[in-house]
Amino acid sequence: MKHLVVRSVLRGLLVNGGRSGRYISTVTAASTAGVLKPTEVWTELRSRYGTSFDVFYWRRMISSNATETAVAEKLKTEKSVEKQAEKGVESFKTSDGTVVSSYWGISKPKILREDGTEWPWNCFMPWETYRSNTAIDLSKHHVPKTFLDKFAYRTVKLLRVPTDIFFQRRYGCRAMMLETVAAVPGMVGGMLLHLRSLRRFQQSGGWIKALLEEAENERMHLMTMVELVQPKWYERLLVLAVQGVFFNAYFVLYLLSPKLAHRITGYLEEEAIHSYTEFLKDIKNGKIENVPAPAIAIDYWRLPKDATLEDAITVIRADEAHHRDVNHFASDIHYQGKELREAPAPLGYH
């Protein structure tokens, strides 16, 4: 362990020595000008910057001397580095015990849950969690009237046929696979709006963020489902193929007609609500075991500690209803001949 600590810190110091040298050179200039004696400089810096100065000083020592000095210093300062690592001042330990230099100031702060226990996730933070609006109207449907709407509706209905044949009532597996697709439209839409904002020097009205949030939310649905169902090799292969086709198709479609793209997504979300309703039916009638909700779902949706799969699916279904409304709304904006940025984006739900 000691070797790991020292090697890790040494590497960081040798690579980054230039910057710390610049910091110290100011001090050296001051001391040679007779403003402060070296010992006074040390005391001053210690009092001003606390123990973190120990590491800065040590960096300077390493970067300014020959290799043999570095080896000697390594032994001399080993204890001090370990002490720093323990305090988490300039480095921290990863789960496998490796000490990582936090020279860039990106070390993870200790975050606690409301009940005082340590926050276990790196993939999302407490301020990104929320309570899903389960009171949302699940039965809303956009009646297709125009040719494009009918085309969107028929396309989604057509896509459902092979899905029904392939998965039948294996709703866990079905949900997991479909979430790999559901997380694509928001990312494509958000990315294209981002690029448009750059090209036109215009704000997006919050829509970039809203669509990227949707993509992230869908990905969290997937992260929840994979805790319950492990994909088989041929399912992974299917995801690869479907993603390759769907991403590119949706990308081109969004460029050609965002109006149609959002409408298709709106109808896809309506189908997702239907699928999760059937999933819940199978949980209620005992065909699918109502196991405890995955820990990631409990934290992400702020569910009670004893939440079950039924609770997790209920909040996921509410999310889908929200995505349905957002995407039909986006399509409606385009139908009115406007750009998305002209209407306020539905931010803050996720």
Residues near Fe ion (CB under 5 A) are 179, 182, 218, 221, 269, 320, 323
Per-residue tokens: 26: 């100011």
Smallest distance from Fe ion to CB 278, Å: 15
Which residue, 213 or 320, has its beta carbon nearer to Fe ion?
320
Which residue, 251 or 276, has its beta carbon nearer to Fe ion?
276
Smallest distance from Fe ion to CB 167, Å: 15
The number of angstroms, rounded, from the C-alpha of 115 to the middle of its chain's C-alpha atoms is 23
Say how far apart CA 84 and CA 55 lie, in whole Å: 8
Smallest distance from Fe ion to CB 66, Å: 60
Per-residue DSSP letter, 117: P
Which residue, 149 or 218, has its beta carbon nearer to Fe ion?
218
Smallest distance from Fe ion to CB 261, Å: 14
Other beta carbons within 10 Å of 271? 18
First to last CA, the chain: 42
Which residue, 81 or 173, has its beta carbon nearer to Fe ion?
173
DSSP labels, 273-318? HHHHHHHHHHHHTTSS--PBPPHHHHHHTT--TT-BHHHHHHHHHH
Query: E-assigned strands of the chain?
Result: 91-93, 99-101
Which residue, 62 or 210, has its beta carbon nearer to Fe ion?
210
Smallest distance from Fe ion to CB 285, Å: 23
Q: Residue 339: beta bridge partners?
A: none
